[in-house]
A = this chain, B = another copy of it.
Amino acid sequence: MIIVMHKAATQSQVNHVVARVQQMGCQAFCSQGIEATVIGINNHQHQLNQTVIENLPGVARLMPVSKPYKLASRDFHPADTLISIGDLTIGGNQLTVIGGPCAVEDREQILTTAHAVKAAGAHILRGGAYKPRSSPYAFQGLGEAGLELLALAREETGLPIITEVLDPETVPLVRAYADILQIGARNMQNYSLLHAVGESQHPVLLKRSMMATVEEFLMAAEYILSHGNHQVILCERGIRTYETATRNTFDINAIPVLKEHTHLPVFADPSHATGKRSLVAAIAKAAVAAGADGLAIEVHPQPDAALADGAQSLTPPQFSDLMQQVRRLAVVMQKEIMAPSDSCEPGTF
């Protein structure tokens, strides 16, 4: 932390600031320049009350030096975090693809999709049982019946499953079924939920809020990590901007930025990022080329009849075609992508 004093601050104001900083148990390092006096602070134990300091006479402003997150930072953990789900490894030089519908609708829909995405080479099956919807009048998901159908699809295909959890109370139930818990974008700063999945000690995929900065995204991951759960996958899914040509603006910059700052695997969701089927393949490939560790893609056997997000879902043939392109790209990017045949056998979960 650095304190910048006003140009016109007196020596006695500087001395007073230094004294207050020391009272709070921090060390102060004073540097008197021509433009302004600057005071460096050692604030390792977070004892500094910034508001007090900001409002002392003569203080112009405070500027942070260290990052506010620790456990999520590469400074703390330089090597890539690897997450194991059965035989599958996420992170490092692996490229992992999640496929499946926005929402589990019925037995036939989820089983058809599960077999299709497995055949195309996906590694994980997605599907929502609890759906956050902006209208109280819209389809809210099948609930536990949806979880049971996902478990059935895993049994039939051997694909691990990921599904969203909406509130702390439901965490134990969803954890009992799912291999990975998903935190949706709207819940990225639902701290009670982050606390609960942190304590679950279960793999978590955390989606970036459409309004969060990269730093806030990492702080949300820090909430989970701070409860001892280190199996966190980050997922960029587009942010809200003034542009209305697409559902969201995919923040492709965030992928290399996150890879620089954190050891956690970074996935991309080109379906929500664009909201439009015809754009999904281009953005999926862009994400891989930018260094993403994985993709989450919406696939539906009949997008026209989907209860949610049909406009952005690929058909199984479109998904299969994309998987072939992604495999060619993985070679150029020096990433390994587990082949369909290597994939987890039925019944291993």
A residues with CB within 8 A of B: 1-2, 4, 7, 27, 29-36, 38, 40-44, 46, 49, 51-52, 54-56, 60, 63, 65-66, 68-69, 75, 132-137, 166-169, 186-187, 189-193, 209-211, 213-216, 219-220, 222-223, 226, 238-246, 249-257, 260, 273-274, 278-279, 282-283, 285-291, 303-311, 325, 328-329, 331-332
A33 nearest CB neighbor, chain B only = B40
- Cα A309 to Cα B51 in complex, Å, equals 7
| A201 CB, min distance to chain B CBs, angstroms | 16
- Cα A251 to Cα B42 in complex, Å, equals 37
23 A-B residue contacts at CB 8 Å?
A: A2-B63, A7-B75, A27-B33, A36-B40, A36-B66, A49-B307, A51-B311, A52-B306, A54-B304, A68-B134, A133-B191, A136-B226, A168-B169, A239-B241, A241-B251, A243-B254, A245-B253, A249-B253, A282-B289, A282-B291, A285-B290, A288-B289, A289-B329
Residues of B within 8 A of A41 (CB): 33, 35
Residues of B within 8 A of A282 (CB): 255-256, 289-291
Q: Is the interface of A mostly helix, strand, loop or mixed?
A: mixed
Q: Are B211 and A192 in contact (CB under 8 A)?
A: no
- Cα A31 to Cα B38 in complex, Å, equals 9
| A299 CB, min distance to chain B CBs, angstroms | 14
| A122 CB, min distance to chain B CBs, angstroms | 20
Q: Are A44 and B34 in contact (CB under 8 A)?
A: yes
A185 nearest CB neighbor, chain B only = B189
Known A35-B65, A44-B34, A51-B306; judge A243-B256 contact (CB<8 A).
no
From B134, B137, B250, B332, give the contact of A46 (CB < 8 A). B137
Q: Are A240 and B211 in contact (CB under 8 A)?
A: yes
Residues of B within 8 A of A46 (CB): 137
| A172 CB, min distance to chain B CBs, angstroms | 14
From B189, B190, B260, B290, give the contact of A283 (CB < 8 A). B290
A51 nearest CB neighbor, chain B only = B310
